[in-house]
Amino acid sequence: MHGTKRIVLGGRHTWQSTVCTTTSTYPCPRVGTRPVSSTPSFPVNLHFIPPRDILVNAYIGTPPQKFRLLLDTGSSDLWVRSETLVPWEPGTKFHPLRSSTWQQSRAHWATTYVDKAVIEGIEGVEKVRIGDFEVDARVGVAESITTVDEHGRKKKRGKVEGIKAGTRGLPPIDGLLGVALGSSFVDGLRGAGARGIKITFRVGEEGKNDLCILRDTDGEEGVLWYDVETDEREPSWEIVLKKILVGKTFSRVNWGQRVARA
């Protein structure tokens, strides 16, 4: 899936919210979670930076190389920066030829974001490890990041911009982990026996934010479940909004999940 999406990479936002930075324990010691081992082989170390950025560690290639990625349920592409990306910016980069398990699948790969930022490069199938799971997933290697400013001028970037991560001493990201329902990574997790991704938030409370990958979701407690109703040709994490209440009045939603074209 390479459609446009919501995340703004080259925006002008200046994030002003207070920062909550906590790390996770993994796997989450909760009902329904059946960890393979008490100590994960490849710790997720979830790092939440309000209002949006959920950062996780994934280990890509052979030997595994650690990347900090922005977890995104609204897109399908998993991509990391290439060593050839210019202008140079610090951080972890990926070099396909140094991985013994890299299998290139496309000589040209691209994805476009809602602010018209374009990420381009090559794509291959690679080992991706997270927690105790190892999956084969499609990985884009970004050789070019192009953003468009308010005057329509294009500019080459060496990193993801427009997000809070990477600013004011906060940890930067090395790429994106798209976990939309139809994504290659989710398919890989299914194949490895996983059944769900659980994110626990503890903003403003004691404790740590968590991400754990579940092998069983039925045993989870205190959860209100909503069935996903989506287009099978382009599956995404869609639920149906039934009504909106404002004060004492309510508006019933009749427009379905998609917005009618003007």
Partner 1 sequence: MVVDTGSASHYLPSVTTELLFHQEPLSQKYLQVHFVPDQYTAVETTEAGYQLTDPDIPDPPVRLVFRGPEVEWPLSLDSPTGDEYASLRSSAAGQPAVLGTPFLSQRKGVIFDFTPGKERIGFIGNDRILSLEEKIGNRPRQRFVQFIVGASLGLGIGIGWKWYEGSLF
Q: Whose Cβ is closer to partner 1: residue 4's or residue 84's?
A: 4
Query: Which of 142, 144, 113, 158 lies closest to 11 in space, CA to CA?
Result: 113
Nearer to partner 1, 36 or 244 (CB): 244
Question: Rounded to the nearest 10 degrees, how much is the dihedral formed by the CA atoms of 103, 192, 77, 145?
Answer: -60
Note whether 259 binds partner 1 by CB under 8 A. yes
Per-residue interface string for the shown chain with partner 1, residues 91-130, x marking contact by CB under 8 A: ------------------------x---------------
Among 26, 48, 59, 79, binds partner 1 (CB under 8 A): 48
Output 2 or 202, the one with its CB closest to partner 1: 202
Nearer to partner 1, 14 or 100 (CB): 14
Asked if residue 228 binds partner 1 (CB under 8 A), the reply is: yes
Nearer to partner 1, 103 or 257 (CB): 257
* Token pair 């010691």: residue: 29
Restricting to residues 169-188, name those near partner 1 by CB under 8 A.
176, 179, 181, 186
What is the C-alpha separation between 259 and 154, in angstroms, rounded? Answer: 30
- Count of residues that interact with partner 1, criterion CB under 8 A: 78
Near partner 1 by CB under 8 A: residue from 58, 71, 95, 165: 71
Please state the closest distance from residue 80 (CB atom) to partner 1, in A. Answer: 16
Q: What are phi and psi of 190, to 5 degrees?
A: -60, -45
Under the criterion CB under 8 A, does residue 2 sit at the interface with partner 1?
A: no
- The CB density around residue 195, as the number of other CB atoms within 10 Å, is 13
Amino acid letter for position 185 = F
Phi, psi of 241 (to 5 degrees): -85, 120
Which of 60, 160, 165, 214 binds partner 1 (CB under 8 A)? It is 214
**Interaction between residue 37 and partner 1 (CB under 8 A):** no
- Evaluated on CA atoms 190, 181, 112, 87, the torsion sign reads negative
Q: Which of 8, 44, 80, 142 binds partner 1 (CB under 8 A)?
A: 8
**Is residue 161 a contact residue for partner 1 (CB under 8 A)?**
no
Q: How far is the CB of 86 from partner 1 (least distance, A)?
A: 25
Tell me the window of 80-88, 153-161, 167-175, 194-202 that interacts with partner 1 (CB under 8 A).
Answer: 194-202
Distance CA 149, CA 153 (A): 5
For residue 69, give the nearest of 173, 169, 168 by alpha carbon: 173
The phi and psi torsions of 189 (rounded to 5 degrees) equal -60, -40
- Residue 71 vs 80, nearer CB to partner 1: 71
- The tokens describing 254, both together, are 């009749």
15 binds partner 1 (CB under 8 A): yes
Residues 215 and 195 sit within 8 Å (Cβ to Cβ)? yes
Q: Which of 22, 120, 200, 208 binds partner 1 (CB under 8 A)?
A: 200
Nearest to 216 by CA among 193, 233, 232, 200: 193
Q: What is the SS3 assignment for 14?
A: coil
Residue type, 144: S
